[in-house]
Amino acid sequence: MKQKIVKWVLILLGVSFLVIMLVLPLATVLVYALRQGWETFSEAIFDEYAVKALNLTLLASGITVIVNTTFGIFAAWAIAKFRFRGKQALTTLIDIPFSISPIIAGLVFILVFGRIGWAYPLLEAWNIKIVFAVPGIVLATIFVTFPFVSRELIPLMQAQGSEEEEAAALMGAKGFRIFRKVTLPHIKWGLLYGVILCTARSLGEFGAVSVVSGHLRGKTNTLPLHVEILFNEFKLTAAFAVSSILVLIAVIILILRNIVEYRVKREER
Amino acid sequence: MYVELQNINKKFGNFQAADNVSFSIEKGKLIGLLGPSGSGKTTILRMIAGLETPDCGDIIINGQRVNNLPASRRGIGFVFQNYALFRYMTVFDNIAFGLEVQKKEKAYIKQRVTELIRLVGLDGLEKRRPHQLSGGQKQRVAFARALAPSPHLLLLDEPFAAIDAKIRKELRTWLRETINKVGITSIFVTHDQEEAVEVADEIIITNSGRIEQIGTPIDIYKNPATPFAAKFIGESIVVEDYGRFHGFETNEDYSKAILRPEFVRVTKTDQEIYPHASEHGTVEDIFFRGSVLELRLSVGGLKLISYRSLEDDALAVGEEVSVLIYRLYLYNDRQVHLVENSAFKANDAFTI
Amino acid sequence: MIPGFGLSMGITITMLSLIVLIPLLSVLLTLSNTTFKDFWQVITDGQTVATYKVSLSCAAVAATINVVFGILLAWILTRYKFPFRRVLDGLIELPFALPTAVAGISLTTLYSDKGWIGGLFGKIGIKISYTTTGIVIAMIFIGIPFVVRSIQPVLEKLDPQYEEAASALGASRSRIFFKVVFPEILPAALTGFGLAFARCIGEYGSVVFIAGNIPYQTQITPLIIMNKLEQFNYAAATSIALVMVIFAFLLLFGINLLQARINKIARG
């Protein structure tokens, strides 16, 4: 009997914690977004600047995911299927962006491409703008989410060993064929998982982008930055209305992630 | 009776792990629960321990019905197949665990743990951690740990399954001796019939959740009560058409028979004394088994195994030999019936 | 032999250098123009030091609370069944999936004087938004998935026989938990703590709104770097950034060491 009481007290504690910490903030967004009615809501989300911000966010994230997934696959291939010295060091280096504050990530690109950056003279000569322009935003986002796919793939591919790939190589298959036909089927769910994580993080990236963007409305504002501006201007409803788009995307991502995890677990069995 | 199970039933989904199981065990005996994988023996053991609950039926230990008593209060020592030693504690702390639960004094704990470490022969290893021990050493720690709180019943779940074959024999003998020394009622589970026969005072044979037979190893061997028991203990071969052998008549109640290597005597054809009782056979293969030779024979289409001493005259592969079948166990679905070779019995005298 | 080593290593190292290493080295490059004296002055400036204290102490408190609740949540999610368990389990990653800015503004609103929770506490005189308490709450939010997801797989894979052995030896449920289960999940809990702690120190978006950024009181280190940047004081910003980076490395190193040591004990 005592055991049952303990069990339900623990459950109650845990669930309350989650409700307060996770569910309430979500609810806040939705409630405040719709507080002033449907019209105000749609006005905010279809606002010209909001739409432009959304486009920029999607563009930056799209490029980021492609770049980082490509990197992740190559890096995981090199690290998991071969033996060489300095493997641990390489893995640690790749993980660096994971442990650096996003502000520092943004700062770093200013130091390279900004006015005081050492690459600036070069950029000026070619009339390329990076900082306070879209390329800077994309680069910063790439930096921050750099290891997301590789972190998923490396342990996965290491655990799967390289015997099958060796067998294929012995039969004369070339690299891309081996990857496509032998490796990919094994890693597809892990890969998808990493891509989902990378997408989520790049859509929501704020700190790094904040530093390099220059906050030019309509030009260099991502959706999270737009939210910040609205909030700081006390346009609460608008801020939350736009946020709700991001919340919707976040929830979809969570659902996708859960489906993928479920599939991964099923395959492991 | 010290431990009694009455009409125990247990189902896991569609799998009947225990089907109306009843038996009792005397105090101080060392009992082996023997059966193939999935026969329910581990489930029965775990129910006695309190790690599983029966769907219905009673478990009585020392006169007390323990069904509703949790495992922690049954006063039972349990040794797991994979040792289950607490990885983050030293050998000493592992063994002391049960005593600390009993809130014994530090001095007593130290004395008792030291005593047990000596009993299991692990002196000097008190401060080691499980990952620094060999398989055999880990099992002995598990044993000491289970004995430390002076339980009145010791349960062992396939204690040697995870141990190297070489060490297994030694540990077996050691286990039997140590349990006898301590004098504690013990039940162990195994699928290895050689192990059961060597270690146990009495054997309980399980099959598909049911008890096939209970008895001393020799009893079961000599008088198997069911076809399963007959087939399980010792090496048996099924004979379909036993009536064709000299000295045996087809009995319509029993469609098949079981033949054991010890029921067969192989002699060189020119040395056979009972030609009317024996069969012609061919040696198909000979294997060296360390202390005996294993012969694979073909007798009228039937494949037999027999053992031959290294002292006897050598046989060659392909040689024609004489095979005398002393007896057979006839069996049907329910019963086993021992018959002797009538031609052999009748021929007490030599024929010249 | 498997093909593709040259190509994959080449791409890996090139991209790593271009995107991560070279930009990072710019930190040192920029600082080469600063004298050590100036550097020291900036990083030991009163206001800056105050941000270290705020960031570190809030992160430590938040990470600790996350460990306690992380263990609790991992336990109830793996051992018990209750309504909405699956939904809540899936929700754990919300702090990962939700943009930090959105989290930031919604937490701020929720805990502000007129917010649902802030209002309640306001009645008994406790202010949450714009105080260090608010910072801690935002940090707890961010850290939830780190600890829970570190511990959950360990609990799920934990062989029940350890607990059964302890039970057979007479141990009560709480003794079993503290003496047998807890040491098994401690390494994962520590890893989760480290990850959450590191993340909290560097976090910007979720924290910056609720903090209010009152110098010496609720200013976190990432924000003061931002301030210096807005004043175009690149040298100062970079100096403080270097301190953060070094600290992050040391932390990561420490966590890896701890993990390696504990793995040695567990591998038995």
Convert chain B into a string of H (helix), E (strand) and C (coil). CCEEEEEEEEEECCEEEEEEEEEEECCCCEEEEECCCCCCHHHHHHHHHCCCCCCEEEEEECCEECCCCCHHHCCEEEECCCCCCCCCCCHHHHHHHHHHHCCCCHHHHHHHHHHHHHHCCCCCCCCCCHHHCCHHHHHHHHHHHHHCCCCCEEEEECCCCCCCHHHHHHHHHHHHHHHHHHCCEEEEEECCHHHHHHHCCEEEEEECCEEEEEECHHHHHHCCCCHHHHHHCCCCEEECCHHHCCCCCCCCCCCEEEECHHHEEEEEHHHCCCCCCEEEEEEEEEEECCCEEEEEEEECCEEEEEEEECCCCCCCCCCEEEEEECEEEEECCCCEEEEECHHHHHCCCCCC
Question: Could you tell me the pLDDT band of residue B349, with boundaries at 50, 70 and 90?
Answer: low
Q: Quick one: A84 and A160 in the same domain?
A: yes
Chain-centroid distance of CA B87 in Å reads 31
**Interface check C265 vs A, CB under 8 A:** no
How do B153-157 and B64-65 pair as beta strands? Answer: unpaired
pLDDT on residue B145: 94
How does pLDDT run across A19-51, given as a tens digit for each residue?
999 999 999 999 999 988 888 888 888 988 899
Enclosing domain of residue A197: 38-268
Closest CA to A209 of A191, A194, A229: A229
pLDDT on residue B110: 95
Query: Min CA distance, A252 vs chain C (Å)?
Result: 9
- In this predicted structure, the answer to whether residue C37 has a pLDDT above a threshold of 90 is no
Pairwise CA distance, residues B157 & B33, whole Å: 9
**Interface check C189 vs A, CB under 8 A:** no
Compute the average pLDDT of residues B122-150: 92
Of C161, C171, C268, the CB nearest to B101: C171
- In this predicted structure, the answer to whether residue B351 has a pLDDT above a threshold of 50 is no
If you average pLDDT over every residue of chain B, what do you get? 87
10 Å Cβ neighbour count for B328?
Answer: 23
B202-207, strands of its sheet edge to edge = B76-79, B153-157, B185-190, B30-34, B202-207, B210-215
> Taking a C-beta distance cutoff of 8 angstroms, is the pair A196, A256 a contact?
yes
Tokens in use for C140? 């707890």
Q: Quick one: A18 and A109 in the same domain?
A: no
pLDDT on residue A166: 84
Contacts of C177 (CB under 8 A, 6+ apart): none
Query: Min CA distance, C75 vs chain A (Å)?
Result: 9
pLDDT on residue C268: 45
Compute the average pLDDT of residues C216-222: 89
How does pLDDT run across C47-61, given as a tens digit for each residue?
999 999 999 999 999
Q: Quick one: A26 and A78 in the same domain?
A: no
Pairwise CA distance, residues A155 & A187, whole Å: 11
Q: Do B97 and C169 touch (CB under 8 A)?
A: yes
One-letter amino acid identity for B306?
A: S
Neighbouring-strand partners of residue B281:
B299, B321
Pairwise CA distance, residues A97 & A91, whole Å: 12
Neighbouring-strand partners of residue A205:
none
Q: Quick one: A190 and A248 in the same domain?
A: yes
Compute the average pLDDT of residues A118-126: 81
Burial class (CB in 10 A: 0-12, 13-18, 19+), C102: buried
Taking contacts as CB-CB distances below 8 angstroms, the residues of chain A near C248 are: 99-101
Lowest mean pLDDT among B44-48, C121-125, C157-161, C192-196: C121-125
Q: Give the CA count within 13 Å in the CB-facing half-sphere of C142.
A: 32
pLDDT: which is higher, C126 or C140: C140
Lowest mean pLDDT among A159-168, B70-79, B102-111, C216-225: A159-168
Length in residues, chain C: 268
pLDDT on residue A149: 94
Pairwise CA distance, residues A31 & B235, whole Å: 77
Of A74, A118, A211, the CB nearest to C229: A211
Q: What are phi and psi of C245, to 5 degrees?
A: -65, -45
Compute the average pLDDT of residues A159-185: 84
Q: Quick one: A30 and A43 in the same domain?
A: no
Pairwise CA distance, residues B302 & B245, whole Å: 11
Pairwise CA distance, residues B54 & B209, whole Å: 12
How does pLDDT run across A186-238, given as a tens digit for each residue?
888 889 989 998 999 999 999 999 998 877 677 788 999 999 999 999 998 99
Question: Could you tell me the pLDDT band of residue A78, with boundaries at 50, 70 and 90?
Answer: very high
Q: Using N-to-C axis directions, what is the helix angle for C5-15 and A48-81, rounded to 10°?
A: 140
Domain count, chain A: 2
Lowest mean pLDDT among A164-168, B20-24, B151-155, C8-12: A164-168
**Interface check A250 vs C, CB under 8 A:** yes
The residue of A94, A108, A154, A196 whose CB has the most chain C CBs within 10 angstroms, and thus the best one to mutate to test that interface, is A108
Kindly list the partner chains of chain C, i.e. chains with 3 or more CB atom pairs below 8 Å. Answer: A, B
How does pLDDT run across B34-45, given as a tens digit for each residue?
998 888 899 999
Q: What is the CATH number of the domain that holds A73?
A: 1.10.3720.10
> Taking a C-beta distance cutoff of 8 angstroms, is the pair A49, A218 a contact?
yes
Closest CA to A56 of A128, A134, A149, A140: A134
Taking contacts as CB-CB distances below 8 angstroms, the residues of chain C near A21 are: 137, 140-141, 144
Element (H, E) at A3: helix A2-18
**Interface check A166 vs C, CB under 8 A:** yes
Q: Quick one: A248 and A173 in the same domain?
A: yes
Note the CATH number of domain C53-220.
1.10.3720.10
pLDDT on residue C122: 85
Length in residues, chain A: 269
Question: Could you tell me the pLDDT band of residue A178, with boundaries at 50, 70 and 90?
Answer: confident
Pairwise CA distance, residues B125 & B161, whole Å: 23
pLDDT on residue A98: 83
Residue at token pair 């290491």: A158
Fold classified for B237-346: OB fold (Dihydrolipoamide Acetyltransferase, E2P) (2.40.50)
Percent of chain B with pLDDT over 90: 35
Taking contacts as CB-CB distances below 8 angstroms, the residues of chain C near B85 are: 165
* ipTM of this complex prediction, to 2 decimal places: 0.87
How does pLDDT run across B171-208, given as a tens digit for each residue?
888 888 889 888 899 999 998 888 888 889 999 999 88
Compute the average pLDDT of residues B113-138: 92
- In this predicted structure, the answer to whether residue A84 has a pLDDT above a threshold of 90 is no
**Interface check A4 vs C, CB under 8 A:** no
Taking contacts as CB-CB distances below 8 angstroms, the residues of chain C near B101 are: 169-172, 175
Percent of chain B with pLDDT over 70: 97
Q: Quick one: A27 and A154 in the same domain?
A: no
Residue at token pair 């203990």: B233
Pairwise CA distance, residues C43 & C45, whole Å: 6
**Interface check A45 vs C, CB under 8 A:** no
How does pLDDT run across A53-66, given as a tens digit for each residue?
999 999 999 999 99
Question: Could you tell me the pLDDT band of residue A268, with boundaries at 50, 70 and 90?
Answer: low
How does pLDDT run across C168-192, given as a tens digit for each residue?
999 998 899 999 999 989 888 988 9
What is the 8-class DSSP label of residue C44? T
Question: At CB < 8 Å, which residues of chain B contact C?
Answer: 49-51, 70-73, 75-78, 80, 82, 84-88, 97-98, 101-102, 129-132, 145-146, 149
Pairwise CA distance, residues C175 & C167, whole Å: 9
pTM for this one? 0.80
Question: Could you tell me the pLDDT band of residue B242, with boundaries at 50, 70 and 90?
Answer: confident
Q: Quick one: A110 and A24 in the same domain?
A: no
**Contacts from B281-286 at CB under 8 Å and sequence distance 24+?**
B281/B320, B281/B321, B281/B322, B281/B323, B282/B318, B282/B319, B282/B320, B282/B321, B283/B315, B283/B316, B283/B317, B283/B318, B283/B319, B283/B321, B284/B317, B284/B318, B285/B317, B286/B315, B286/B317
Question: Could you tell me the pLDDT band of residue B70, with boundaries at 50, 70 and 90?
Answer: confident
**Interface check A135 vs C, CB under 8 A:** no
Coil, helix or strand at residue A178: helix
Compute the average pLDDT of residues B317-330: 88
**Interface check A87 vs C, CB under 8 A:** no
Q: Where are the alpha helices (DSSP H) in C203-233?
A: 205-211, 221-230
Of A95, A102, A179, the CB nearest to C202: A102
> Taking a C-beta distance cutoff of 8 angstroms, is the pair B150, C171 a contact?
no
Report domain extents, chain B.
Answer: 3-225, 237-346
> Taking a C-beta distance cutoff of 8 angstroms, is the pair C56, C221 a contact?
no
Percent of chain C with pLDDT over 70: 99
Tokens in use for A48? 């010209």
Contacts of A21 (CB under 8 A, 6+ apart): C137, C140, C141, C144
Between vectors from CA C163 to CA C152 and to CA B138, what angle results, nearest 5°? 110
pLDDT on residue B346: 55
Fold classified for B3-225: Rossmann fold (3.40.50)
